[in-house]
Structure 1
Amino acid sequence: MLNISLVNRVLIWLVVAVGLFFALPNAFYGRVETHNDAVKAIEATGSTPELEAAAGVWPDWMPGTLVNLGLDLRGGASLLAEVQVEEVYASRMDALWPEVRDVLRAERAAIGGIRRIQQGPADELRVRIENPAEMGRVLTAIRALARPVQSLTGVGTTDIEVDASGAILTINLSEAERQIIADLTLQQALEIIRRRVDAAGTREPSIQRQGSDRVLVQVPGLGSAQELKELIGTTAKLTFHSVVSVTDDPNASPGPGNILHPSAEQAGEYFVLERLPVISGEDLTDSQPEFDQNGRPAVGFRFNPGGARIFCGYTTENAGAPFAIVLDDEVISAPRINEPICGGAGIITGNFSVEESTNLSIQLRAGSLPAAMEFLQENTIGADLGKDSIDAGIMACMVAFAAVLIFMLLSYGTFGIFANIALIVNVGMIFGLLSVFGATLTLPGIAGIVLTIGMAVDANVLVFERIREELKSAKGPSRAIELGYEKALSAIIDANITTFITAVILFALGSGPVKGFSVTLMIGIATSVFTAIYVTRVMVVIWFEARRPKTIEV
């Protein structure tokens, strides 16, 4: 006999209600968007009558999450940029030269004069030795400067390779170190671009790495690609300040000669800092995640010679005191100076996880773009074109939706009505989940929704055809419905699992439009299975209990 407990029925309808509740704001997209923008502005700059009025167009107790519209639907700007990683290699060699020079000067009595050769590749350090007979001593001294590569793929290798030919000493970065530098440079570029774009208040930008040295930036709602180029080209400001005090009052008076900055780590925490920085990020040459003497995650950093002298003097005088690392007018970290930091290198310790230490090292390096960027492709999509895309996508969905509803009604009668109701619920739940997850809907994503509509109907068709077969074998209506759902379940699960696996692969390996399609497809598969197996069954059971028909027509 058909039997679904009251608890299960309540849970099923509760899930449907929650999904539709979070989908509801998308039916009032403009009002909710105005409300959200006003709330953000109030939090950032304070309340005004105009902002309060704008925030009041949508109730605060209602969800304010919306499906983000992608570049092809909203319009905006897109850039494909290539990061000139070779410049970073050259900078690394320039930063290494003072260390090499100091080591060779200590051996000057034996090797004679030294001179750096400027000709040759920029990512190669070449030094001429006056007495080549002592080249073996030189190689030993320079190889002592090599440090182990801090990566799993570079275990057992060092960061530099040293070679000699006659009187010429040649130093190159090892392949493993080049790979690390390239990865960190791309991460740094992504971080600073994201900070620049987020600071402009744009909605849901897409900033992705493409290949080994390219970055794809898509910003919906931005006026032109030139505006985006100017936005990305802005240089961030990284400074190190003395900490005067810490407060939770955002309106606290910092006092003369001081400045108030919020903490990026702890919401509601503010630092009173000396206005003049101890040292700026322009003197920082490197920052990498590493581990302290106790094996805990930490962040190592290195200054150029001028910065090293300043920092050594400051940390000697202020041992035991905290100092603040400020990026874009936010305190990203405020470690305590445990001991004087001389020699140009130091380490920041704290209660870091490995991920946090990696992110902090990237932020330290993200004071400015790490290298020049060559823009390979620029696109500006106007709002009218985005509106045309939305209209075309909506029309496609409506035509597909109407055709499916008519087909199900004509083919299965009353049971077709149940399937159509479940189909409407399914689409609503898709938008609800897209809103909750903060996913971005693109034109290929709309195609994924259209495909999901067909797959949802397919599951209902399998169930209804199974019920027809059971009715032909002279079973009663109740038993036929029960067996129909039981025997169709395995086919529904198998078909949707294989499609879901394909969608996961598309999401993992694809980019841009492919990801948009796969996201909506994965969400649609989950909701279509739920509505086909549970929602339609609950409706059929409620109808059957109310009517108690002797025979049924499917």
Structure 2
Amino acid sequence: MIKSKNVRAVIIVVCAALSLFALWPSFKFYNLSDAQKKEMLKTPEGTKELNELQSKSINLGLDLKGGIHLVMETDVVTLYESIAKTKDAEFTRVFEKAAEEYRKNPDAVFSNVLRAHFEEAKLSMPAYWGERFKDNADVVKFMDEQSKDAVDRAQQIIRNRVDQFGVSEPTIQKQGDHRIIVELPGVEDPAQAKNLIQQTALLEFKLVKDPQDLGTALERLDVYFAKVDTVSGKISAGAISADTSKKSSDGGTGLSAELQKSSSDSSQKDSSALANLDKPLTKLLVSSQYDVLVPENNFEYVKSMLYYQVGERVKMKPGVQQVIGESNDIIFSSKPIFEGHHALYLVKKQPELSGAVITEAKQDIYQGMDPGLAGRPIVTLKMTPEGSKRWAIVTGANVGKRIAVVLDNKVQSAPNIQEKISGGNTQITGMENLIEAKSLAIALRAGSLPAPVHVMEERTIGPSLGADSIDSGKMAFWIGFVVIALAMVAYYRMSGAVADMALVINVLLLFGVLTGFGFTLTLPGIAGIVLTMGMAVDANVLIYERIREEIRLGKTVRAAIETGFAKAFVTIVDANLTTFGTGIVLFQFGTGPIKGFALTLMIGIVTTIFTGVFVSRFIMDLIYDRSTIERQMSIGISYTKTSA
């Protein structure tokens, strides 16, 4: 123990001053009314000051500030399928059977389920996932490694996206092997945040096939669906009426010819029916000057004709894939592009470039020559040197053709290539506003997720509920503080008041540490603070009871104080360190609320030892100084000894 009172006084004053300095922005920020905040936001200087105050204030957790809590799960089924080198009909059959069993029992290990089904079908897993593997066990080991790596990468990518989104003190942590917990306090638009986190952000550039190729493919699909309908009745030709609001001017010519027509009159510049009503697919579509469109009321049905859903995955039907060719794909625009109509595209399945070559993505406003895009939000992209070279080759070899900018298997835009593009600069259009453009830019900068993630659990806490929690927490804190303080004074008299002064400094230091180091205060954290107050005075109780015993044994007040603090110190440290160890375990393995409790508990234990032993002893030494003669000790007993 430091003997010099001056040194001890300096240490206590410095600690208290630092805590007050750290807490001052919080006092200012949380005492501002909504009207004052709005007034400050009217000027750049006021906005800057408000932002600085908020950034230096104590961080409030999800339960106090409001926000969104998500439990995300990595789609290992899609991951394992995507890393397969080759696929055939037998692979698809066995894989989907294993996936179906896994969906019924999600607690199982999918790689083991997959192995069991492949071995039952007498199929070699290395034949599909790579000949470099020795046997099925080797493939399963590789899958498990890929799964763990995918979760780690997804966690980091989600963290990067959230950091760029501007959320203060988010919680992003793994839970088990495949799940990630995300907590975003203070988010004003939970839907936007959820979309940003969940978006795979797989960016691809795919060449759009010529209109005659699309026309031929659709006509062949008509023949295919007509046969399917005749044989199995799975698709009814009259299930959905055609969009007859825009009829074809020629009464139903061949689709290839219709798509190659030049639009010489105004009626052709609008949409027109592609085929007559006896064609299962094309009767549901309309043509425009540039695209084949799907009316909104037919959109889901057309998708169900072309695709099927397995759990969370959407896949093209094998029969449809065979008709259009294994090297092609049919995809839709991400949003309606014309009066509630989605565009349908036939593209090459193999992308020319992927988002891996993107080095920079930022939102902007279109300032080019196209009047249709004037003032619209865009995302500008810059590529790596290798990506720039490849982009120049692709655009140079396909001048006059269209290239689809595909994000998560949906077409954002499909511009015509006017000329060779050098330098690796390009842009994405199709966003509704700058907020959407910003979210897309963030997702592209952070990178694409290695596998889709799905929301398994979602909780949204509104700001009003958070305000109620703050009020409840304040009430609990003050009730606890007043009851403890009065009880100590009632039982230990003047010595109880000393314990109360140490308690005030304890709470001040605790909040100062929370704020200064940027920790987050949660509702369970407030419970931890209230518990800390009880533990703090408990340390004083141990000391005071020991002093009482020494006084009963006939020692002077000074001697009793020195012995009481010395002998109680080991007990206090031992008890608190045991609790501190429990706090470490809770903080390491707990989730948001539990972590908040464990954090304040651990900080409170450190400040409790400091104030209970160091601060209390200093105040006692001031009151019962060695130079004081005939001084009685007020410690709640009927007899005292004078100090000596």
Cα offset, 1:70, TM superposition: 0.9
Q: Does 1:192 align with 2:272?
A: no
Q: Does 1:226 align with 2:191?
A: yes
- Tell me the alpha carbon deviations over residues 200-231 of structure 1, each in whole angstroms, 9 at most, x when there is no partner: 22222212212111122111122354333222
Distance between the aligned counterparts of 2:54 and 2:382, measured in 1?
A: 41
CA distance in 2, matches of 1:203, 1:240: 30
Q: Which residue of 2 aligns with 1:464?
A: 544
Cα contact 1:25–1:66 (8 A) shared by 2: yes
Matched, 1:453 2:418: no
Q: Which residue of 1 aligns with 2:364?
A: none
Distance 1:64 1:469, change over 3 A: farther
Mapping 1:29-40, distance limit 5 Å: 29-30=29-30
**3-state DSSP of counterpart to 2:163:** helix
Residue number in structure 1 paired with 2:19? 19
**For residues 205 and 241 of structure 1, do their structure 2 counterparts lie closer, same or farther at Cα, with a shift above 3 Å needed?**
closer
TM-score w.r.t. structure 2 length?
A: 0.53
Q: Is the alpha carbon distance of 1:64 and 1:542 closer, same or farther for their aligned partners in structure 2, counting shifts above 3 Å? A: farther
1:436-495 Cα shifts (integer Å, max 9, x gaps) = 222111111111111100000000111111111111122112111111111111111111
Tell me the TM-score normalised to structure 1 length. Answer: 0.61
Find the partner of 1:52 among 45, 59, 65: 45
Distance in 2 (CA, whole Å) between partners of 1:472 and 1:6 is 32
Residues 15 and 509, structure 2, Cα contact 8 Å, conserved in 1: no
Change in 2 beyond 3 A, CA 1:50/1:472: same
In 2 relative to 1, CA 501–117 (structure 1 residues): closer, same or farther, beyond 3 Å? Answer: closer
Name the structure 1 match of 2:95: 121
| Partner residue, 1:550 | 631
Deviation of 1:397 (Å): 0.8
C-alpha spacing 1:57/1:368, structure 2 compared with 1 (3 Å): closer
CA distance in 1, matches of 2:383, 2:501: 66
CA–CA separation in structure 2 for the residues paired with 1:64 and 1:509? 28
Maintained 8 Å contact 1:4/1:538: no
1:368 maps to amino acid = S
Q: Which residue is equivalent to 1:434?
A: 514
| Aligned residue among 556, 563, 566 for 1:483 | 563
Amino acid at match of 1:178: M
Distance change (3 Å), C-alpha of 1:118 and 1:178: closer
Output the CA distance in 2 between the equivalents of 1:396 and 1:448.
Answer: 11
Return the alpha-carbon distance in structure 1 between the equivalents of residues 488 and 172 of structure 2: 42
Q: Name the residue aligned to 1:510.
A: 590
C-alpha deviation, 1:388, in angstroms? 0.8
Cα distance, 1:236 vs. partner?
Answer: 7.2
Do the aligned partners of 2:359 and 2:445 also contact (CA within 8 Å) in 1? no
Is 1:87 the equivalent of 2:78?
yes
Does residue 10 (structure 1) correspond to residue 5 (structure 2)? The answer is: no
Describe how 1:69-468 pairs up with structure 2 within 5 A.
69-94=60-85, 97=86, 118-121=92-95, 146=132, 160-162=133-135, 174-223=139-188, 225-234=190-199, 235=201, 238-240=355-357, 275=382, 277-279=384-386, 367-468=447-548
| 1:70 and 1:441 in contact (8 A); partners too | yes
- 3-state DSSP of counterpart to 2:624: helix
Tell me how far 1:185 sits from its aligned partner: 0.8
Gap regions ≥5 residues in structure 1: 39-47, 99-113, 126-134, 147-159, 164-171, 244-272, 284-322, 325-362
Correspondence 1:65 to 2:30: no
Secondary structure, in 3 states, of the residue corresponding to 1:93?
A: coil
Structure 1 residues 480, 57: closer, same or farther in 2, change over 3 A? Answer: same
**Structure 2 unpaired stretches of 5+:** 97-110, 116-122, 204-354, 361-379, 391-422, 425-442, 636-644
Instruction: Label 1:402 to 1:236 Cα distance change in 2 as closer, same or farther (>3 A).
Output: farther
SS in 2 for 1:120: helix
Q: Is the 8 A contact 1:82 1:374 kept in 2?
A: yes
Inter-partner Cα distance in structure 2 for 1:452 and 1:25:
24
Separation in 2 of the partners of 1:370 and 1:2?
57
Q: 1:371 Cα shift?
A: 1.7
Answer whether contact 1:192 1:236 (CA < 8 A) is retained: no
The alignment covers a number of residue pairs equal to 389
Q: Which letter maps to 1:511?
A: T
CA distance in 1, matches of 2:381, 2:468: 53
Go from structure 1 to structure 2 and tell me whether the alpha carbon gap of 1:448 and 1:49 turns closer, same or farther (over 3 Å shift): closer
